[in-house]
Amino acid sequence: LAKTTQPISMDSYEGQEVNITCSHNNIATNDYITWYQQFPSQGPRFIIQGYKTKVTNEVASLFIPADRKSSTLSLPRVSLSDTAVYYCLLRSSNDYKLSFGAGTTVTVRA
């Protein structure tokens, strides 16, 4: 399985930027890194995906360095409704298995 490391939790305030890093030393060469958001008692929901460098969509940005051993999800100007668990999903280069990171609980306060 991919060895991923994410911070367990992060606290923020409304309007701030939140950056969550997922470290993944053994990512499969040709596969993408995907980030999901999960609210309590719901299925994960796609946020953003990338392979290298920077990707931006209407809700987030994703920064991936050239060595691809980590990725950073950036949530600009968070609101209370962004309180959720955020997971990276990728495939290991060792066994080519899909695995989610342990998840980062982001709590946004007013």
Partner 1 sequence: EPEVTQTPSHQVTQMGQEVILRCVPISNHLYFYWYRQILGQKVEFLVSFYNNEISEKSEIFDDQFSVERPDGSNFTLKIRSTKLEDSAMYFCASSGGQGRTQETQYFGPGTRLLVL
6 touches 88 (CB < 8 A): yes
- What's the CA dihedral at 69, 75, 105, 66 to 10 degrees? 0
Q: Residue 84 in contact with residue 59, Cβ under 8 Å?
A: no
Smallest distance from partner 1 to CB 92, Å: 11
The angle subtended at Cα 61 by Cα 92 and Cα 82, nearest 5°, is 95
Binding mask 15-44 for partner 1 (x = CB under 8 A): ---------------xxxxx-x-x--xxxx
- The CB-of-30 to partner 1 minimum distance in angstroms stands at 8
Whole-number minimum distance, CB 98 to partner 1, in Å?
Answer: 5
* From 3, 13, 45, 53, residue interacting with partner 1 (rule: CB under 8 A): 45
By CB under 8 A, name the one of 23, 25, 102, 107 that touches partner 1: 102
Cα dihedral 94/30/23/95 (nearest 10): -20
Total residues contacting partner 1 by CB under 8 A comes to 26
Using CB under 8 A as the criterion, which residues of the chain lie in contact with partner 1 when the complex forms?
Answer: 30-34, 36, 38, 41-46, 49, 51, 87, 89-91, 97-103
